[in-house]
Chains A and B, each alone.
Chain A
Amino acid sequence: MTEVEEQKGRIPSRLAGVVAVALALLAVDHARALLSEPIVFDPEERAPGTFPAHWIHGSKSAMDNDDPPVQVHAYNEHTIIMRENKAINYEGAFMYLFFGNDRVLLIDQGSTSSPALFPLRETVDEIVSAWAKDQRVPEPELIVANSHLHGDHYAAWNQFVDRPNTVLVGLTHEEMMAFWGFTDFPGERIEFDLGGRLFIVTGSPGHQGSELSFYDTWTDLLYTGDMFYRGRLYLDDWSAWVASIQRLGAIADEFPVAHLVNNHIEMTNTPGVDYPIGTTWQPDEPPMQMTRAMLEVAIKATEEIDKPGIYIYDDFMIYNEIPWATTTDP
């Protein structure tokens, strides 16, 4: 047999090798698909979750505080709530990560820009990476979004500008509307899918003109941002807030809302008593989550309040269209 014939003779086995490599890769693909079935976020069945008994709530001396800069709490496997250390910034802002099969939604970026003081990006990267590892899937795309456009909710936004596989919604009203697809803000309801996990997004201005609320059909959490939380509800536009709180009421009537979640805690456990602005230690703070009954109180308040001023309720205070420097602090 000549060398050429010998070479020709080897061709079928080489071609078989090529096909074998392709088939092996297909088999690996198939096995991976079997092992990583998409997560089912069934809206018909409420996903359980827990809140911590107490959030880390600052310390007497901010200088001596040794708590982590970002407290991370898993409400459940696919829902993470983070809180900024009150010793870093008195706002003690809450931030949220909602995971879906395709994307993960980060709502708000806290009140501190410096990654050295407040390493939010690092924290989020670790959470996303660990989640992907646990689920045996590639890391999902991160959406960096904001509940509204106040500086204490986007201060660490810059930490994400160079993050790969990330979409930044933007820090203007117009960019927010375009991203979520609003054409009739604020009354419209937008359905937003994170990959099997469906959110209903609606406008909730009043505290700030671009504010959004999110209802998670999987956990039944209704996220109300700064327009409704246990604290001083500073209302820039009373009539807009009235319409917004009634819209949230309509969502709560229509869907089985489990908890209302938000961004700050400013009240104490004593009904009608708040911590002064700037407090960095809140040993007697109530839970962050609120109830449907509290929302009803707010809806009822819209019928009672007819002029600017401060109105005090057990679980929140309404600062209705009054100047910023006005306070109930002694």
Chain B
Amino acid sequence: MRNALLALRPERRVLFGCLLGLLISTPCQAHLLNMTRVSIVVHQTDPGTLRVEIDLGQSLMSAADYWALASAEGNEQLRRLQPVLEALERGLTVEIDGQRIDSTFVDAEFEAASLAAISNPLTPQMAVLRWRLPPQVGSVLTVELASDLEVPWPCLIRVDSDRRNLPVSRLLTADRLTSGSLTLADTGERLAVQDSRFDLFLVYGFLGFQHILPLGLDHVLFVLGLFFIGGGARQLALLVSCFTVAHSLTLALATFRVVDLPADLVEPLIAASIVYIGLEKLLTTEHTAIRRQRLRYGVVFGFGLLHGLGFARVLGEVGLPDGEFVLALLAFNVGVELGQLLVLLLALLVFGVFRHRAWYASCIATPGAIVVAGIGLYWLGQRTVG
């Protein structure tokens, strides 16, 4: 050790408990800078709390005003605090299920070592303000900061709920002023970057679309298999509709846990369905065409049920937001359908233009079906043997 204990500079810290002024000294928190923290605790039956930790002297007030606030006592302190409370209550919105929550101010603490410390952004002097929240039975919470609310960035949001095992954290920045939807129960949740029902629809719609293109190669191959089977546009539309109705059905049933099959079973069966749909084209002769065509709708419907279970597994990994199950499910389905339609459209553009050529069957449809069935067989082996 080179030097002995250095003399400490005098420090003054004022604690204000609503009407109580108290001088204390507290330990340092280096490298915290002056970033803002908002903590929300909600209970179903008891009152909750909203706590804001903020460097007031570097944001909503001048350093001198903050020093005067921290040095004042009683009603005088409350009077000086009033504009800050108004600004925060106006600019910080907490909503549950889309309804703004009214809060009641409780108390505040002010750290204020000196006017010089307050004036220096490198030595943050933080204020802590607390509000009481009424009991909440809603399921989705959002926090939003108004763009004109001047707070030191970033702003860490922490939400605790008596229906969650773990808190949930989000970071707000000047570029992202909303927490998105945060679910207050452990079921569902996980994806929460959207801040309105429209955004939520877009996010889940995109997820559904993405699960076809580019992530859902097995579903793409199944649709291509249907395409290569051929038949008229009406027949193709009917087959795709059968597939769509079926997978929508099991997607909904599996999402609401009415049906639950293990992935170890579903995934090989999906691969088997691709093999089947490829072979359907390859094994059909004129002699068997009529009989197979009659069966085909039922078979495709059955396979659609399987593929729906596959979609449900993906959706289960992402989670559905509480209170918006139906909307998110619908959006996911719409995304899946758009993805499938795009696959068909691309197939029509690339291959369909040659459908009436003599060589279409031997040069496109049959080799296409061979590739579809071959990839399905490869996946079947992979998913069965490991």
Q: Give the docked Cα–Cα distance between A22 and B173 (Å).
A: 50
CB pair B156–A18 under 8 Å, yes or no, is: no
Which residues of A approach B to under 8 Å, CB–CB? Answer: 3-4, 7-8, 11, 14-15, 17-22, 24-26, 29, 90-91, 111, 113-115, 150-155, 157-158, 161-162, 170-172, 174-175, 178, 207-208, 226, 232, 234-237, 264, 271-272, 277-278, 301, 304, 307-314, 319, 321-328
Q: Could you tell me if A4 and B113 are in contact, using CB atoms closer than 8 angstroms?
A: no
Would you call B378 and A21 a contact (CB within 8 A)?
A: yes
**Cβ distance A155 to chain B, nearest Cβ, rounded Å:** 6
A-facing residues in B129-156 (Cβ within 8 Å): 153-154, 156
Beta-carbon contact of A232 and B154 below 8 Å: no
Considering the chains assembled together, what is the distance between the CA atoms of A178 and B366 in angstroms?
A: 53
Q: Is the CB–CB distance between A91 and B377 below 8 Å?
A: no
Q: How far is the CA of A227 from the CA of B103 in the complex (A)?
A: 38
Q: Helix, strand, loop or mixed for chain B's interface? A: loop
Name which residue of chain A comes closest to B117, CB basis. Answer: A325
Tell me whether B61 is interfacial, beta carbon within 8 Å: no
Q: Is the CB of A326 within 8 A of B28?
A: yes
CB contact under 8 A between A174 and B167, given known A113-B174, A309-B8: yes
Whether, in the assembled complex, B285 has its beta carbon less than 8 Å from a beta carbon of chain A, the answer is: yes
In the complex, the number of residue pairs spanning A and B with C-beta atoms less than 8 Å apart equals 200
Residue from the list A21, A90, A301 in contact with B371, Cβ < 8 A: A21
- 17 A-B residue pairs with Cβ-Cβ distance under 8 Å, sorted by A, are A3-B286, A17-B370, A20-B374, A21-B370, A113-B153, A113-B174, A150-B30, A208-B29, A234-B31, A236-B29, A271-B2, A277-B122, A319-B30, A322-B8, A323-B25, A323-B28, A325-B113
Task: Spell out B's residues near A (CB within 8 Å).
Answer: 1-3, 5-6, 8-9, 11, 13, 25-33, 35, 111, 113-114, 117, 120, 122-125, 153-154, 156, 158, 165-171, 173-176, 193, 275, 278-279, 282-283, 285-287, 366-367, 369-371, 373-375, 377-378, 381-382
Chain B neighbourhood of A15, CB < 8 A: 279, 282
Interface centre among B275, B287, B370 (most CB of A within 10 A): B370
Chain B residue nearest to A14 (CB atoms) is B282
Chain A neighbourhood of B123, CB < 8 A:
277, 324-325, 327
A26 touches B11 (CB 8 A): no
Contact of A237 among B27, B32, B35, B374 (CB under 8 A): B27
Which residues of B have CB within 8 Å of A14?
A: 282-283, 366, 369-370
Name the B residues within 8 Å of A272 (CB-CB).
Answer: 2-3
A21 with B374: in contact, given A313-B1, A313-B2 (CB under 8 Å)? yes
Known: A325-B11, A325-B123. 15 other contacts (CB 8 A): A8-B285, A14-B283, A14-B366, A18-B275, A18-B377, A24-B374, A150-B32, A172-B169, A175-B166, A208-B29, A234-B31, A278-B122, A312-B2, A326-B8, A326-B9
- CB contacts (< 8 Å) of B26 on chain A: these are 323
Inter-chain contact A18/B374, CB cutoff 8 Å: yes
- Beyond A26-B381, A113-B175, is A4–B287 a contact (Cβ under 8 Å)? yes
Residues in A with CB closer than 8 Å to B32 are 150-152, 324
Task: Say whether A171 contacts B156, CB under 8 Å.
Answer: yes
Contact check: which of A91, A154, A234 meets B28 at CB < 8 Å? Answer: A234
Q: A22-B375, A311-B3 are in contact. Are A150 and B125 (CB under 8 A)?
A: no
Which chain B residue lies CB-closest to A273? B2
Are B154 and A21 touching (Cβ within 8 A)? no
Flag if A171 contacts B173 (CB, 8 Å): no
> Which of B31, B117, B171 makes the CB contact (< 8 A) with A157?
B171
With contacts A150-B32, A324-B113 known, is A18 near B370, CB below 8 A?
yes
With A151-B32, A234-B30, A325-B11 known as contacts, the answer to whether A7 contacts B286 (CB < 8 A) is: yes
